Each structure stands twice: as structure tokens, then as C-alpha cells.
Amino acid sequence: MAKITFHEETKTFHLYNRDISYIISIMENGHLEQLYYGKRIHDKADFSYLAERCSRPMTSYIYEGDRTFSLEHIRQEYPVYGSTDYRHPAVEVLQENGSRIMDFQYEGHEISSGKPRLSGLPATYTESDEEAETLVIQLRDGVTGVRLELLYTIFSEGGVIARSARFRNDGGRAVHLLTAMSLSLDLPDKEYVWMQFSGAWARERHIKNRVLEQGIVAIDSLRGNSSHEHNPFMVLRRPNAAEDVGEVIGFSLVYSGNFRIQAEVDTHDVTRVTVGISPEGFDWKLDAGEIFQTPEAVMVYSSDGLNGMSRTFHHLYRKRLARGYWRDRVRPILNNNWEATYFDFTQDKLIEIAKKAKECGVELFVLDDGWFGARSNDHAGLGDWAANKERLPYGISGLSEAIENLGMGFGLWFEPEMVNKDSDLYRAHPDWILKTPERSVSHGRHQYVLDFSRKEVVDCIYGMMYKILSESKISYIKWDMNRSITECYSAALPADRQGEVFHRYILGVYDLYERLISAFPKILFESCASGGGRFDPGILYYAPQGWASDDSDAVERLKIQYGTSMCYPISSIGSHVSVIPNHQVFRNTPLHTRANVAYFGTFGYELDLNKLTDEELLEVKDQIAFMKEYREILQFGDFYRLKSPFEGNETVWMTVSEDKKTAVVGWYRVLNGVNLPYSRVRLQGLNPDVVYENLLDGTEHYGDELMHVGLITSDGMAGQLEGDAERITDFESRIYLLKEKTVC
């Protein structure tokens, strides 16, 4: 049970549940002090001993005659710059007189059960008041009249605190928010390893580690989307922490646009973490009476290592961030035509591919790019969301009905936020793209970004999409976004509001999503941004799964999916079996390994099954049958990482059913070796008192054996001795299926 207690006599807030404590106090200047965040401790009235003060040379002080009270040396909750604190602030407000000095002082607070919604923004939620408690601390700057509300929600289950900030201008004059972070946290030391999840197109969310040291380390995006380059998620772990032991704090921003996550270590080894919208280029004009709400940031503390943190994020984001019809339903096994045909298809060819997919057990056929307007390549057609009748003589409605008559669902690709110059939409509205006056406008993939900060643009795209969806039998949408924003300027906004365009654009994307899922609640949305360029919690609120990467090679996907699993639930990870040689790295990987990796995600096929051999088709049918039988466990079970692809030649992960009766272990070896050592891996999450049968080799072991002694994965010289029936080479993998042994 979550509990928030306010101790009036010491002006101290204590937020706690079974796992964590978070303690804040109100200081003598009315600001908020951070006293403790970590493993649960007993509540008591007085934690004042945690408020450390001392006199230091070359320090500025708040009060005349007091050489101990300096904000430079106090751990704070939502710091400002310039009034004795020289570190990076959580908030910066430009006033009419040019000043940026603010003094937000405590005025009051409210404690309530449950969790309020954030207007116009994605956020975690509750379904009953017992699931969480929320604290809203109200502060005010006396000179400008700007009010600041700091929102804290502590959930009953897990080490989770969700935070955001809300500004309201109750003064008579406009101000400009230049920095408005969602979260700021001052930690008392720097003994952490910083983990970020970075890369580029086709190698997203690779794990990067560095030891925190005095100075600043940060990740961000200024691209208008959360980006392939850096995911809006960061972990601080103690140096001795690993997957299953040690203290870990994860920071995740529920947002899809420009962001910054930063750790600043001062020269006294205090670590300040800030998370929120990137201040670079951000300038939100707040007129009298207006409100600005920051996106939500989620903190997860775990004393059980990285796996403990990840399982908390998985459960929260799967159950209390994702929403709607598909939240708790297993994902349909699909066949996407993109790598099978690219732009070269007809309706007859698509139906031929779909028939073979149905024969193999596929449940959903997806038509990707190229079905609309004058779209025969990527130079034309974006924005003209009506079927190309030369390719699809009966339109989307006719094709969707034909696919449904085969006994399958039908899915469709859109890229709603983009336009080609060679399109009817652009010819009618050339001013609807983001472009700076009197400057050249850049393109990416021959396309331009529509100005989604404008309601009329979003309305137009919604109207075209609604028409297709309401006239056709569509159960899935793949929503793509294939370029980042450049020349970010809106013709619809005045000069003093151009700093709002990036954020208003994302609000427009969220608005379009919300309208579509409200109108078509049973459609499954999958987000895509050239693969993993917008794989973030903000989009997960609208689309419960995302295409993790355009790189579908099984070996590359080990790192991509391993890194992704640090924060995101397995049910959200779009993963497919694709053709070989792989279209991104040209690697030939065994069919069983491609499937063994893709099982730990949504699962599907990115190829023309008609081109497989009879033997391969039998294998595909077995793969689909296996996934149908175990996808509830694979997608919604407890996931554990056991061996990292970033640390060796082997990767091992597993998922365990909620009742602990079944476990599926994925074992992968990139390169084969000669006369290999014996190997075993210690499993996690099993019932120690239950006997499990290993269906791969028929052996039986108690759960405690498998967790403490380990699962033996040795294969020595297999495939290398003359006369071996099975030849094992590079890119080998196995699935170990463990089931509770029934005792008669």
C-alpha cells in the first residue's frame, strides 16, 4: 500500500510503500530539500539530521550572518539558478524586465488517492484509488505571480514514483519558460555507473556504460523525435550492481520529442539528475492565466539489480501506461509484405502472399508502403491517403475484405506526419510544412514534415485516415515516421512563440493518435520511426507495441532487444523473422535462430513465404504453432536477462509464467568454437520447490537446482566430429522449454 505522510512539526513529507522511501522537507526559505530516496525505511516525524549544512569558502549565502545556508550545497527538489546555486537548474523563467531569477516558495499541498490525468499528455494511470497516492506541492514566485505545482505519485507496487511539474501564470504579465524539467533529483554521492541506451539507425539502444565523475554527462535529442541515437531512458547503478544484485535507479521520460537526461556531479560529489524537455531552443510563452504541464518522468528504484528494475518498468508500462483493447491481449502473428515486395506489388500478388501465410498459421496480413496516391517509389504520394487504383483496383476496402475472407486480419501502413512535394496535398497547401521563411528547406527520404502544431493540418490528416478506416476492414495500423525535423518554424505562430513549435508538434501527434484510437478502439497500433527512432514511453501510451528496429537480422537483434528490455515490456517489442541474406547486414542466419530471437517480442514474418522450401515451410508452421501456444508467457511473463551480448559470445534470456509453472529460455551463440569449455547458466524466477521437466532433453530438475547450480548448455565438439548427425555452426540457438512436472 502506498502512503504519503506529512509531518507538520518538521514540515517533512514521507512517500513510501513496501519497497521505497522518498523524503522531502520544506526549508526555512520556503524551497524544498531532498533528504532521502532509496530502500524503504521506517517512518518517523523527524528526519532533520539528513539536512547537512556547513560553511564553505567561496560560497554565497541566502541570509545575512548565516554562513551555512547556501543553495549551492543543499540537495534540492526543483532548483533555480542564480540565487546562490550555480548548478544547472530545473526551471528558468524569462521575465519582462529580462531577469531570470525566481523564488518559488511553499504555499500548500494536497494529498489524494489515485493519480490525476495529465491534460493532453501521455502518462501512467491507475484504475483504482488503492493503486497509488499523489502529492501535489504548491509553490509561488511572489514577484511574477507564477505558481508551480510539483506532482508526485507513488504506486503501491514496486519502487515507482512518477513526477511532473505544472506552471500557472497568475501574474499580470507574460513570462517565457526557457527550462521546465519534469524531474530533478539530488543524490548525496557520485558512486554510480551511468548506463545509456544509444546507437543509430539499425543499431538502436545499445548499452553504454561510464563511471560518474565530477562534471556533466547527458543524453538528448534535438531532432523533434526521441531518436535512434539516444533513448529517453537512463540508469544509475552502483558499481557492484548487476542484473540480479545491487542498487539501481532507472529514469524514464514519457515523451516523444526533444528531451534531455543529465547527471551533473559537483566538486563535492553530489549528483544532480534532471529529466525533461530539452531546454535547447525551447521557449514557451505563458500569458496571464495560462498553464503549462511538463511531460511525466518515472523513477524506479530497485535493490534487486537491473532485472528487478526492468520487471518493475515492464509491469508498470504494460499494465498502467499501455491502454485499451490490446493492452492485455496476445499479439497476432503477422506477415508484412515490405521486405517481400517493397513497392513492386499488385493486389493479386499480395493475396498470393497472404494465402501462403494463412496456410502456415499467420493471423494478420499487413500491407506496407506504396498503396496510395502516385506512390511507386519514395519520391511521391505521401499525404495523399487514398488507394492507388492501378495497383489496388478495388481499393483498400476491397483488398481488406479479400484478406478477411481468407480468415485473416488486415493491417495497413501510414506515415501521417509527412508529405512529398509531388503530392496533391502539398500542391494544395505548400505552407503546411515546417520551414523557415527565406531559408532553404531540407528533405529526408524526399519528404517533408507537416506542421502538426496546426490543428487544421491534423484535422485534414485525421479526415483522410478516418475515411479509409471507416470504409475498410482494418485491425492493425503501422504508423511510420521516416525523418526528423529540420527548419522548425510554423507559419501559423508569431515570432515570440516559435520556441513552442517542437512541443506543439508532439502534442499534435498525440492528438491524432487519441482521436483515432477513440474512433477505432479495437485497431492495434504499432509505432514505427524508420524502425526504432521513436520507441519511447510516450508513444507506448497510444500504440502498445513498436517496431524495435529496421534491422531484422537475428544476431543484431540480440543487442537491440536486450537493450530495449531494460525498460520496455516484451509485449511492446516488434520482432520478425526476415529473409536471408538479411537486407540490412546481408548475413545468412538459420531459420530457427531467426525465430528463436523473434519469439521474445510480438513475432511475425517479413518475407514471402511462397519462396521458402517445403522443409522450411514445415519449420515455419512449427514456429507459429509454438508461438501460439506460449505467447501469453513470452509476452506477459516475467522476463530475466541472464547473459549479455555486450559482454561475450553468448546471450541468454528467459521468461517465466505468472504461476511459475512454465519457463522459456532463449540461448544464443554468435560464433561457433572448437573444443569449447563446459557451460551452464543460472536461471531466475523459478519455484525452488518444484520439479521442472526440460522438454529439450527430457531431464528433470528442481527449480533451486536450475537457479543455483544452473542449466547445462554445453555442446563441446558437437557438429565438429566426423559422423555427427547434426552440424552446428555460427549463429546457433536453442529454446529450452521447462514445465512443472506433474506428480501422479
Active site residues: 480, 550
CB burial of 686-713 (b: ≥16 within 10 Å; e: otherwise) equals: bbeebebbbeeeeeebbbebbbeeebeb
Give the per-residue SS3 of 270-337: CEEEEEEECCCCCCEEECCCCEEECCEEEEEEECEHHHHHHHHHHHHHHHHCCCCCCCCCCCCCEEEC
Q: Which of 438, 33, 48, 454 shows the shortest CA–CA distance to 270? A: 33
Amino acid letter for position 124:
T
Q: Which of 478, 482, 489, 414 shows the shortest CA–CA distance to 446? A: 482
The cell for 110 is 494536497
The cell for 724 is 555427427
What whole-number distance in Å separates Cα of residue 374 and Cα of residue 382?
9
CB atoms within 10 A of CB 390: 9
The residues, ordered by sequence, that sit 6+ positions from 449 with a Cβ below 8 Å of its Cβ are 224, 417, 418, 433, 434, 483, 485, 486, 505
Do residues 544 and 525 make contact, with C-beta atoms less than 8 angstroms apart? yes
Q: How far is CA 214 from the centre of its chain?
A: 29
Task: Return left, alpha or beta for 355; rule: phi > 0 is left, psi -120 to 50 is alpha, else beta.
Answer: alpha
Query: Per 3-state DSSP, what percentage of the chain is helix, strand, and coil (rounded to 5)?
Result: 20, 30, 45
Helices marked H in 290-368 = 305-320, 338-341, 347-360
What whole-number distance in Å separates Cα of residue 488 and Cα of residue 502?
7
Amino acid letter for position 28:
E
Instruction: Look up cell 481488406; give the residue.
Output: 400
What whole-number distance in Å separates Cα of residue 332 and Cα of residue 605?
11
**Across the chain, how many H-helices and E-strands are there?**
12, 39
- For residue 695, give Cα distances in angstroms to 8, 629, 637, 662: 60, 14, 19, 11
